[in-house]
Homo-oligomer: A and B are copies of this chain.
Amino acid sequence: MFGLIGNMKAVAGQREALLAILMENVGGMPGCLSYVVAEDPRDPDGVWISEAWDSADSHKASLSIPAVRDAVERARPLIAGFGQYIETRPVGGHGLKARA
Which A positions have Cβ atoms within 8 angstroms of B?
1, 3, 5, 19, 23, 26-27, 29, 32-42, 48, 50, 52, 86-97, 99
CB-based contact A38/B95 at 8 Å: no
| Interface residues of A, dominant DSSP | strand
Copies in the assembly, this chain: 2
CB-based contact A34/B34 at 8 Å: yes
CB-based contact A94/B48 at 8 Å: no
CB-based contact A36/B97 at 8 Å: no
Closest to A97 in B: B95
CB-based contact B3/A48 at 8 Å: yes
Q: Which 4 A-B pairs have the closest CB atoms?
A: A34-B95, A38-B88, A26-B94, A50-B50
